[in-house]
Chain A
């Protein structure tokens, strides 16, 4: 039994991509323009075949709602020169704003796009797992927002026991880089990480500065 590690559970099979989680997060944290601690990726692939008079779709698509995965091996934390990124007793990865010098090196190191630069404050920001809500015994804002009830939280080990270890769904990266604390229930169309036939269909909505 390792250290405590809180984790997100996300049921991609029923996510409608409505982005209520994204806005609930923005509202709770008063996030500035372009800051999407939680955001929703629209994965899509396939094509159309004309069959006589008919159109046969070979099109597949699903949504991945993604925040910070509070990784077991947080590359962001390892990369930060200032020790401004910490992992607390619950396994939550947090930024200590007062120590951040805004070099954005952590941003390069996170394969989930979780670390986002806030121009107005001049520091990096990221999902806090709503640690203030946890302290009050409440679940994070995104979780209780979901109209489809596809988001939840739990202990990583317990979630993996219940749902299996599933954390490499496209467009997520392979898990070995950071050991993300997340369990994703795959959609029927789900493809694995590093799939070359799929693409993120809604890049313009993600605004990840690359």
Chain B
């Protein structure tokens, strides 16, 4: 190894080192004088950095230990990796090994995705050089160019579009590939905001309905107790929630396990016998997808008719439950109890009624209704899959209302449902890297970006546009950073591909990522980004954890890859915005800035970055000894601590929703509405199977799809019930064709009783790989999904799919 050879820099540079050695607890000075390090590059690198006496450990094989954040993508996990680095290469990955692992501050153990990261880090397909398109758009043909040329092209395109159309024709799309401050779309967002702005958007592909609907009931999104409180619960409903697989916060599955050990009964409502149903639940209750609100309504029917509801709480804290609680002037409108008992519509929402819709036996509905109504305290935890559906707002509202009428709000061991950001401040901040203010005021719902490409100028409030009456422009330039949303993760891949192919619509597409994803194939310009091991970064605890995790730079990026921040910084120079953009900081200095920011906000005790780095624990955490409970002040004294709703109370009936005057799709009380693609509709004659695309263990959305260890552990396939399979002459492992009118795929199947009859599951995130006939050979669920959005949140309804399966 030659550390002096700049060509080897990517692999040969070992970072500033700090680690705790089992044998030699050494200070750097001792390190040097002891002559333990023969490697010139290692020495050189150590000397080149601060050299502030970091704690260093060396293994027998000469590797050193560096603790770092697991590269943060958009999973719910924020974990710590213990990297063994030798000769500038990560040779082994372990996980958080802090000596204590108790519930107040448990170890942040990485999952299979993080533990496989070497296979991603050293994958031969990583993007190496900037490239420009040479073939047709979407053909995937590129040629290598220099960084200077690449940035010149992007700068001139940005200037041209700004001049010709204005900043609102630029889109830096939704992208969740990196969350470590210096990598990720936020860097481009900051630059664009300094450049005059770009088309804004709100919402997410994850949480559109739940983030929009929750505040209609509670006036806030901060409805979640701290997780350490879960062990105080006696009854937990995991409703479409699968924390063991999607990691809804590192350790969420572990906390449920602890709650169960503490005596909680746990049930799981899910069309699939998920990993969580197997490992965390005492009972699995399969439900027909898209019918959650019917089940909730029938449970309410049982609870109310058996007098199990918390009348005191309802009287003190809620409005809209029954006629006596209706808002002024709306006394004659349908209250919640009216809906449940069918007073106005003539349909009592009985367990028998729900049995037909949900496929759950009425006796089971009665039983779980009684259990949830009588076992206190109880949690109804809503997963996010059920709100990425046709009327995804309704189950969110319905779950919140069930929590309210059983009085499980504002108490230890209870759970208010809804999006449940963590009390008291909504939890961690995710990105603290300052993006600044967007001078373009108009915002679209994030899911409607293809609409804004096709007919942006026609879009207004009826399409969810806020900040202005109409968009000023159609989207003409897309700068896609850390995002696979252009093709793979947006609904109806075939439609998106047609739109993007048309160079008269979007005139220029720049793509900035680590791998050539299906979105990248549609780019005009490709910019290679380093991984999060190759740049300084910092993460916090996602939705829950009270911690800050640092990502020291392990070594320089290989080939010509750069961090998103570095790319933007160099581009800012070409746009004449360098000083404003960088404020004179490099990546590490921004991370110092971020640590200081945390010190001024959530973590006043947090040490400096140097100290964090020196300690080499990878994480700074605040143990939660006394978990806080959301909405407890309100519960104790609703008059003096009103909610931020129009009435100050929990709004079971929402006047705001009533005023929207769309009772069929936006009812003021939560209702079951038959989906626009449903097993009960005409469409089911041609496409009789419901498809869902669950979050799959080996991937974070579309990240990691190419990793061999993960594919070995969890291959991509469609899961189908034996009854549906035998109807179609399909045997386990067969290649099958899954299709509807929007697209088709051919992939292997897994025949398993662990999915409900009538439902198939195509784990989402596989990379769209069309053959000559346009048939996807990898199993990207979005060839089947619809572009139709939900009525209130303008959110994605990507799990509402009807399809057919046959033997290929």
A and B touch in the complex (CB under 8 A): yes
Nearest CB in chain B: distance from A47 CB, A: 6
**Which B residues lie at the A interface, using CB under 8 A?**
22, 92-95, 97, 101, 109-112, 115-116, 118, 244-245, 250-251, 253-254, 257, 260, 273, 275-276, 278-280, 282, 284, 286, 355-356, 359-362, 364, 697, 708-710, 712-715, 721-723, 733, 750, 752-754, 756-757
Task: Find out whether the CB atom of B112 lies under 8 angstroms from the CB atom of A55.
Answer: no
Q: Note all chain A residues with C-beta closer than 8 A to B278.
A: 16-17, 61-63, 187
Range of interface residues on chain A?
Answer: 35 or more
Nearest CB in chain B: distance from A62 CB, A: 6
Nearest CB in chain A: distance from B362 CB, A: 7
Task: Find out whether the CB atom of A51 lies under 8 angstroms from the CB atom of B754.
Answer: no
The answer to the question of A148 belonging to the interface, with a C-beta cut-off of 8 Å to chain B, is yes
Within 8 A of B (CB), among A101-120: none
CA–CA, A13 to B278, complex, Å?
8
CA–CA, A28 to B708, complex, Å?
16
Closest B residue to A149 using CB positions: B254
Q: Note all chain B residues with C-beta closer than 8 A to A149.
A: 101, 254, 257
With contacts A23-B116, A147-B109 taken as known, whether A54 is within 8 angstroms of B713 at the C-beta atoms is: no
Q: Note all chain A residues with C-beta closer than 8 A to B250.
A: 147
Interface residue from B110, B245, B362 paired with A54 (Cβ < 8 Å):
B362
Contact indicator per residue, chain A 140-162, by CB within 8 Å of chain B (1) or not (0): 01001111110000000000000
**Which A residues lie at the B interface, using CB under 8 A?**
13-20, 22-24, 26-28, 33-34, 36, 44-48, 50-57, 59, 61-63, 136-137, 141, 144-149, 187-188, 201, 204-205, 207
CA–CA, A136 to B94, complex, Å?
15
CA–CA, A153 to B635, complex, Å?
47
What are 5 contact pairs spanning A and B, CB under 8 A?
A23-B710, A28-B92, A57-B286, A145-B109, A148-B254
CA–CA, A76 to B284, complex, Å?
40
Task: Find out whether the CB atom of A54 lies under 8 angstroms from the CB atom of B279.
Answer: no
Task: Find out whether the CB atom of A55 lies under 8 angstroms from the CB atom of B757.
Answer: yes
CA–CA, A13 to B261, complex, Å?
11
Chain B CB count within 10 A is highest, among A23, A63, A205, for: A23
Interface residue from A34, A55, A145 paired with B359 (Cβ < 8 Å):
A55
Task: Find out whether the CB atom of A16 lies under 8 angstroms from the CB atom of B752.
Answer: no
CA–CA, A48 to B755, complex, Å?
10
| Top 6 closest pairs, chain A to chain B, by CB | A16-B244, A16-B279, A54-B361, A53-B356, A16-B275, A23-B115
Task: Find out whether the CB atom of B359 lies under 8 angstroms from the CB atom of A148.
Answer: no
Closest A residue to B251 using CB positions: A147
Nearest CB in chain A: distance from B284 CB, A: 7
Nearest CB in chain B: distance from A190 CB, A: 12
CA–CA, A45 to B278, complex, Å?
13
Task: Find out whether the CB atom of B95 lies under 8 angstroms from the CB atom of A144.
Answer: yes
Q: Note all chain B residues with C-beta closer than 8 A to A61.
A: 273, 278, 754
Task: Find out whether the CB atom of B116 lies under 8 angstroms from the CB atom of A16.
Answer: no
Interface residue from A17, A23, A148 paired with B257 (Cβ < 8 Å):
A148
With contacts A53-B356, A201-B754 taken as known, whether A27 is within 8 angstroms of B279 at the C-beta atoms is: no
With contacts A24-B94, A141-B94 taken as known, whether A19 is within 8 angstroms of B713 at the C-beta atoms is: yes
Q: Note all chain B residues with C-beta closer than 8 A to A136.
A: 22
Q: Note all chain A residues with C-beta closer than 8 A to B244.
A: 16, 18, 148
Task: Find out whether the CB atom of B112 lies under 8 angstroms from the CB atom of A22.
Answer: yes
CA–CA, A207 to B708, complex, Å?
14
Task: Find out whether the CB atom of A18 lies under 8 angstroms from the CB atom of B697.
Answer: yes
Task: Find out whether the CB atom of A59 lies under 8 angstroms from the CB atom of B254.
Answer: no
CA–CA, A34 to B754, complex, Å?
26
Q: Note all chain A residues with C-beta closer than 8 A to B95.
A: 24, 144-145
Interface residue from A137, A187, A205 paired with B713 (Cβ < 8 Å):
A205
Q: Note all chain B residues with C-beta closer than 8 A to A204.
A: 715, 733, 750
Closest A residue to B91 using CB positions: A30
Interface residue from A14, A27, A34, A207 paired with B115 (Cβ < 8 Å):
A27
Task: Find out whether the CB atom of B713 lies under 8 angstroms from the CB atom of A15.
Answer: no
Q: Note all chain B residues with C-beta closer than 8 A to A51.
A: 361
Task: Find out whether the CB atom of B756 lies under 8 angstroms from the CB atom of A55.
Answer: yes
